[in-house]
Amino acid sequence: MSYITELKEKNLKMNRKIMLDSLPGFLGKNYLVVTLVILIIAGMVLSNKFFMARNILNILLQNSMMTIISMGMLFAIITGGIDLSVGSVVALSGCLVAGFIQGGANTLPAISLVLLIMALVGMTSGILVSYGRIAPFIVTLAMMTIVRGLAYIYQIGADRRIDGTALTETINSNIGIIPVPIIIMAIVVIVIGFILEKTTFGRGVYAIGGNSETARLAGINVNLNVILVYTISSVLAAISGIILAGRLSMGTALVGQGFELDAIAAVVVGGASLSGGTGTAVNTLMGAFIIGILANIMNLMGVAAYPQMIIKGVIIVAAVLIKRGLGKNE
Amino acid sequence: MKKSTVLEMIGIKKEFPGVKALDQVDFSAQKAEIHALVGENGAGKSTLMKILSGVYSCSTYDGKLKLYGKEKKFYKPKDAEEAGIVIIHQELMLLDELSVAENIFLGHLNNKCGLVNWKTVYERAQNILKQLDVEIDVRMKVKNLGVGHKQLVEIAKALSLQSKILILDEPTAALTESEIVHLFGVLKELRKKEMTLIYISHRMAEVFKLADRISVLRDGRLIATENKHGLSHRKVVSMMVGREICTMYPVTRVKPGKELLKIEDYSLNGTEKTAQVIVKNANLSLKAGEIVGIFGLLGSGRTELVSSIFGAYRRKGIGKIYINSFPVNIKNPKQAIKYGLAFVTEDRKQNGLILNAGVAQNISLATLKTVSKKGILYRQAENKLADRQIKNLSIKTAGIGVDASKLSGGNQQKVVLGKWLSTKPDILILDEPTRGVDVGAKSEIYQIIRDLADSGVGIIMVSSDLPEIIGMSNRVYVMHQGKIVGEFDRADLTEELIMQYATGIYN
């Protein structure tokens, strides 16, 4: 009898030891997935509304715009830069697309023109960062206030409502049961993931963030790549802005305040380092949804807006600390 | 009289991913001895000392560490310090803006409830320095001291901790003759006080002047620990290297072919501020199958010359460059690569590698075109390329995904070489190809370079290592203050001759 219990105990101890040994390694690689699963389980326990199809679609829809912006921010951060202008670009592109449609433009040309203009905005930032050799933080900070100013000037005194137009109809419609913005988000994430993982351009972007001098000496056109990165970031923010205008049925310069910081938060929670060279589209997606699901759970539980801000801040710091702690065991 | 053993390190084994840094090293030191530890770069000296001083936690290596016969476990430098072991690094760890006394007692200031009793602090500092026979004002800021005095302050700091074992890493590197004499006096004095001193140095003369015993490390193994009197300079050097020097350099089997590269009247101006000419009217030629050495001291313009040929220098050069007799105008590295040039830079960490990227990604970086189609990468092709370079250059790594930062210096250098060899260059420029590389990898790299030349590649090798330049080159250009001041064939080369031109005696 005592022999058997001894054996059992020994067995138990060994099992525990194996678990403890391999657990940190497992967590180190999959901590984002684990965090998401924990959050989802917590949501199910805390609120019976959480796991209903409507709520899930709601989470996806609400975070689709932020995820798209984060994909652009990810590009900038991988190169070791940052793009603070994305929130303003959201506002201006919303105003412009609404304005163009009010002016009688068809939906597609209006959207194309807005994307083109915002591509030029991003390109300007990129040129200033690469050829102008000004820190990305400064360039995009300046661009943030310039673009925001333009948005206000364009919007002022004008009513940019676009109720009932093709754009609002499309953005607010579903394909099957899935709202259009979610589908756009999915396409963006797949395309960006593909560009980063599978193309020479993506490889160049990582190389620049890892060591731009090494990249230059290896024949990579660093300046061109940097310009493209800020162009992409701006275009993605513009896509978000257009979606937002569609959802609000109006263009307004008041939206997008602080979006740049939320996007940075998503990228950082997704494990990218601000010093560049790391980060993936899938991890950034998970980063955005960790923040999004947490907000959703708190909303369902009736947590007020201000405490939510505090918790979000704590989560950002915790994410970085957890990543660092687990990274050691890899 | 048999001295008592203070320190024993038994069966020390330390691995970095893919590399054995230390392999079954047994090292011991006695009371009241100066024990010299010698070995080439990368032999494992600093790794061994980092283990001894607790920089590497005892959980990261195998083997035992005994002090006075008792096994000790150091998890952090503080543990070693408390056990009486202090290391004085080559780069001194003093705080320039604090006073001498503050530096000596940093972290151990005499205080009552957080209030420092400055009078006793200064007195005690003064006393310790007196033991070292140094007369400096302990209230003075450290930044006002010379290197020699700074070193003594470090030693004073160690004494204030009552340390019994003192490790000195290349302490004389930056000292003047008289400072060295004083330091040696101090060290001998400390030996009389029954301290154990472990002295790491490259300088044979000093080692023999000072040490009681000498231990030689090579490629992570302890080759010998012997009494000084049983050894000669030559014997120690041959133990360090492990082979006769002359066999390190492979002999050419091939006659140089047609001219690949020619540079005529090439100049490089400095910035407006300095208005100094960096390279002046350089003429240079390179044939297929040839290794051309460029020797120059610091500031001679050797690196600037080759990096501007590659289009990598900040400013454009003036003059003519011909590749295969065609005049070319290379504006950036991308074009240089197209013309068949490759450039292994001087500082692999600064601009040779992406440290946080994998080996495969580093190797494919300059040839992304060959592992992709229309901008889409083919991972299989990339991995194959990496595998091939790892095999051909015998790069020691745990896998193609291992970060470049985790490799040893020699293997990192091989990764950089692999990156450039993947571009299949006609002209390979090497800037200090074996700096910070251990002896074994060095001779491998020499063989690789020679094989490349024999296969018809033209090689320009910039180096400040005289034996290397002489051993490897078919021809050597010597630079001094931006000018090529001499050109010599292999047969005429001597170290003295090159040095005379490089220092401007025949300018």
SS (H, E, C) B297-317: CCCCCHHHHHHHHCCCCCCCC
Predicted confidence band of residue B1 (pLDDT cuts 50, 70, 90): very low
Q: Sheet of B458-463: strands edge to edge?
A: B341-344, B427-431, B458-463, B291-296, B475-480, B483-489
DSSP secondary structure string, B365-399?
A: GGGGGGGEETTEE-HHHHHHHHHHHHHHTT---S-
Phi-psi region of B479 (alpha: psi -120 to 50; beta: other; left: phi over 0): beta
Q: Does A205 touch chain B (CB under 8 A)?
A: no
Is residue A198 less than 8 Å (CB to CB) from chain B? yes
Residue B404 token pair: 């470049």
Nearest Cα neighbor of A31 from A194, A269, A192 is A269
Distance between CA B108 and CA B353 in Å, rounded?
42
Contact of A278 with chain B, judged by CB distance below 8 Å, is answered with yes
Instruction: Pick the residue from chain A with its C-alpha nearest to B363.
Output: A218
**Lowest-pLDDT range of A165-169, B86-90, B250-254, B345-349:** B250-254
Reply yes or no on whether the pLDDT at B147 is more than 90.
no
Nearest to A211 among B343, B354, B366 (CB): B354
| Residue in A203, A217, A221 closest to B343 by CB | A217
Buried-exposed string B85-94: b where 16+ CB fall within 10 A, e elsewhere: bbbbeeebeb
Rounded Cα gap, residues B227 and B236, in angstroms: 12
Indicate the pairing of strand B291-296 with strand B458-463. Answer: parallel
Residue A109 CB partners (closer than 8 Å, separation 6+): A100
Q: What string of H, E and C letters represents the secondary structure of A214-249?
A: HHHHCCCCHHHHHHHHHHHHHHHHHHHHHHHHHHHC
Tokens in use for B71? 């096994």
What is the predicted pLDDT for the residue at B78? 87
- B333: closest CA of chain A, how far (Å): 5
Cβ of A210 and B369 within 8 Å?
Answer: no
Contact B377 A203 (CB under 8 A): yes
For residue A216, give how far its alpha carbon lies from the nearest alpha carbon of chain B (Å): 7
What is the nearest CA distance from A218 to chain B, expressed in angstroms? 4
CA-nearest residue to B342 within chain A is: A218
Q: How many residue pairs from chains A and B have C-beta atoms closer than 8 A?
A: 72
Q: Which domains are present in chain B? A: 5-247 (3.40.50.300), 257-340+426-507 (3.40.50.300), 353-424 (no CATH)
Which among A206, A216, A220 has CB closest to B357? A206
Six-digit token pair at B262? 């020619």
Residues A118, A91 contacting (CB under 8 angstroms):
no
Contact A219 B366 (CB under 8 A): yes
Give residue B246's pLDDT: 54
- On chain B, the residues whose CB falls within 8 A of the CB of A214 are 351-354, 365
CB B352 within 8 A of CB B345: yes
Residue from B174, B122, B167 nearest B149 by CA: B174
Q: Which residues of B touch A201 (CB under 8 A)?
A: 375
Contact (CB, 8 A) for B362 and B354: yes
Q: For residues B36 and B26, what is the distance between their CA atoms, to the nearest angstrom? A: 15
pLDDT band, residue B419 (cuts 50/70/90): very high
Residues 6+ apart with CB under 8 A from A324: none
Average of per-residue pLDDT across B255-280: 82
Whether A223 has its CB under 8 Å from any CB of chain B: the answer is: no
| Chain A contact set for B332 (CB, 8 A) | 216
Which residues touch A132 (CB under 8 Å, ≥6 apart)? Answer: A139
Chain A hits for B351, CB-CB cut-off 8 Å, are 211, 213-214, 217
Identify which has the larger pLDDT, B16 or B309: B309
Residue B85: helix, strand or coil by DSSP?
A: strand
**pLDDT at residue B473 tops 80:** yes
Helices (H), B91-144: 100-104, 118-131
| Cα–Cα distance measured from residue B153 to residue B159, given in angstroms and rounded to the nearest whole number | 10
Query: Closest residue of A to B353, CA-based?
Result: A214
Please state, in angstroms and rounded to a whole number, the distance separating the CA atoms of residues A260 and B123: 58
For residue A198, list chain B residues with Cβ-Cβ distance below 8 A: 376-377
For helices A53-78 and A222-248, the axis angle rounded to 10 degrees is 150
Mean pLDDT of B336-342: 96
Distance between CA atoms of residues B462 and B298, nearest Å: 12
Is the pLDDT at B76 greater than 50? The verdict is yes
Question: Class assignment of domain A34-43+50-324?
Answer: mainly alpha
Residues from chain B contacting residue A206 (CB–CB below 8 Å):
354, 357, 361
- The candidate with the shortest Cα–Cα distance to B344, out of B369, B366, B317, B322, is B366
What's the whole-number average pLDDT of chain B?
A: 87
* The two structure tokens encoding residue A320: 């970085």
C-alpha–C-alpha distance, residues B111 and B490, integer Å: 67
Do the beta carbons of residue B6 and residue B164 sit within 8 Å? yes
pLDDT the model gives residue A330: 42
Give the pair of three-digit tokens for residue B141. Answer: 């800021």
Residue A221 with chain B: CB contacts under 8 Å: 334
For residues B69 and B359, what is the distance between their CA atoms, to the nearest angstrom? 44
The two tokens of residue B258 are 């047609």
B355 and A207 in contact by Cβ < 8 A?
no
B37 DSSP β-pair partners? B200, B215
Residue B244 in this model has a pLDDT that exceeds 80: no
C-beta neighbour count of B367 within 10 angstroms: 20
Please answer yes or no on whether B368 and A203 come within 8 Å at the CB atom.
yes
DSSP readout, A97-159? HHHHHHTT--HHHHHHHHHHHHHHHHHHHHHHHHTS---HHHHHHHHHHHHHHHHHHHHTT--
The answer to whether B354 contacts A221, with C-beta atoms less than 8 Å apart, is no
Residues of B within 8 A of A213 (CB-CB) are 350-351
Inter-residue long-range contacts of A182-187, CB under 8 Å, 24+ positions, other chains counted = A182/A57, A182/A60, A182/A61, A182/A64, A184/A64, A184/A68, A184/A239, A184/A243, A185/A60, A185/A64, A185/A65, A185/A67, A185/A68
- Which pLDDT belongs to residue A189? 98
Residue numbers in A near B369 (CB within 8 A): 200
Yes or no, beta carbons of B353 and A214 under 8 Å apart: yes
Checking if the pLDDT of B162 tops 80, the result is: yes
In tens digits, what is the pLDDT along chain A, a chain of 330 residues? Answer: 455 566 566 565 555 555 555 666 676 678 889 889 999 999 999 999 998 999 999 999 999 999 999 999 999 999 999 999 999 999 999 999 999 999 999 999 999 999 999 999 999 999 999 999 999 999 999 999 999 999 999 998 787 899 999 999 999 999 999 999 999 999 999 999 999 999 999 999 999 999 999 999 999 999 999 999 999 999 999 999 999 999 999 999 999 999 999 999 999 999 999 999 999 999 999 999 999 999 999 999 999 999 999 998 998 898 888 887 776 544
Instruction: Name the percent of chain B in helix, strand, coil, to the closest 5.
Output: 35, 30, 35
Mean pLDDT across B381-385: 95
Specify the 3-state DSSP secondary structure of A164: coil
Nearest to A198 among B337, B351, B377 (CB): B377
Radius of gyration for chain B, computed over Cα atoms and rounded to the nearest angstrom: 26
pLDDT score of B431: 93
A208 touches chain B (CB under 8 A): no
> Is A221 near chain B, with CB under 8 Å?
yes
CA-CA distance, A145 to A84, in Å (whole number)? 10
pLDDT in tens, B423-464: 999 999 999 998 877 777 888 899 999 999 999 999 999 987
Q: Is the dihedral angle over the CA atoms B185, B190, B194, B196 positive or is it negative?
A: negative
Question: How far is Cα B140 from Cα B104, in angstroms, rounded to an integer?
Answer: 12
Neighbouring-strand partners of residue A179: A174
Best residue in B368, B382, B402, B429 for a mutation probing chain A (most A CBs within 10 Å): B368
Which of B337, B351, B352 is opposite residue A219, by nearest beta carbon? Answer: B337
Of A96, A147, A130, nearest in space to A205 by CA: A130
How far lies B89's CA from each of B76, B154, B158, B218, in Å?
Answer: 16, 9, 12, 21
Q: Is the pLDDT of residue B505 over 90?
A: no
Which of A210, A218, A221 minimises the CB distance to B366? A218
pLDDT at position B507 is: 52
CB contact under 8 Å between A214 and B375, yes or no, is no
Chain A: residue nearest B422 by CA?
A218
Contacts of B352 in chain A (CB under 8 A): 214, 217
Residue with tokens 């030191």: B29
**Yes or no, beta carbons of A203 and B376 under 8 Å apart:** no
Q: Which residue of B has its CA nearest to A212?
A: B351
**Contacts by residues B332-335 (CB-CB < 8 Å, ≥ 24 positions apart):** B332/A216, B333/A216, B333/A217, B333/A218, B333/A219, B334/A219, B334/A220, B334/A221, B335/B311
| DSSP secondary structure, B142-165, as one string | GGGS-HHHHHHHHHHHHHHTT-SE
Residue A20: its pLDDT value, please?
Answer: 52
